[in-house]
Amino acid sequence: MGRPKTHKVELSDDEVKRIRSMLKHKGTSDTLAGRCRILLALDERHPPVLTHAACAKAYGLCMATVANTARRFALEGIESVLKLGRSPKSDQARRKLDGRAEALLIATACGPVPEGRARWTLRLLEKELKVLLEEPISRETIRKALKKTN
């Protein structure tokens, strides 16, 4: 016998209708669709109820995704589960090189090289951007941005 469930999923009829309509909608992302399927599979008010392992295997998801979705639903409600949001700690939230700065970088790299140099190096671009943007940008960030261009 396994551990007792610590986070129960009990959906109301309105929530079940909302989740099913999201699954039918073609614009629903795979992440949200997976969460919807997890909630429907674990719902104790509308049997059959799957275990976490059976749910993960049935939908091709990992156990952590199933457990995290159930925990989040139990603690924060359905809105937090059905909302896609970036963590404030994610890479996209902390980007130093936005579109304007990236355009400036590309214009600088494609422009004339400094006196006495044959080409732009990452270190030269780093120094130049520090002057132009008044904010230090790492060589790795510059490398990644330039790698995206041809």
What are the helix (H) ranges across 4-138?
13-24, 30-42, 52-59, 63-76, 78-81, 99-110, 122-133
Element at 44 (helix H, strand E): none
Q: Which pLDDT score, from 0 to 100, does residue 66 have?
A: 92
Position of tokens 């008010």?
45
User: Is 91 a domain residue?
Assistant: no
Q: Residue 38 sits in which domain range?
A: 13-81
pTM above 0.75, yes or no: no
User: Is 22 a domain residue?
Assistant: yes
Q: Which pLDDT score, from 0 to 100, does residue 28 have?
A: 86
Same domain, 31 and 65: yes
Q: Which pLDDT score, from 0 to 100, does residue 24 have?
A: 92
Alpha-carbon span 54 to 125, nearest angstrom: 53
Q: Which pLDDT score, from 0 to 100, does residue 2 have?
A: 60
Q: Which pLDDT score, from 0 to 100, does residue 93 have?
A: 59
User: Is 1 a domain residue?
Assistant: no
User: Is 37 a domain residue?
Assistant: yes
Q: Give the list of residues 6+ apart from residue 86 with CB closer than 8 angstroms, or none.
A: 92, 93
DSSP conformation class of 54: H
User: Is 49 a domain residue?
Assistant: yes
Q: Give the list of residues 6+ apart from residue 92 with CB closer than 8 angstroms, or none.
A: 86
Cβ pair 91, 97 in contact under 8 A: no
Q: Which pLDDT score, from 0 to 100, does residue 94 have?
A: 65
Q: From 42, 30, 33, 44, select the one nearest 66 (Cα to Cα).
A: 42
Q: Looking at the 3D structure of the chain, how many domains does it have?
A: 2
Same domain, 77 and 103: no
Per-block average pLDDT, block size 10, for the chain (150 residues)?
74 91 89 92 88 91 92 90 75 73 92 92 93 88 84
Alpha-carbon span 91 to 27, nearest angstrom: 25
Alpha-carbon span 13 to 1, nearest angstrom: 31
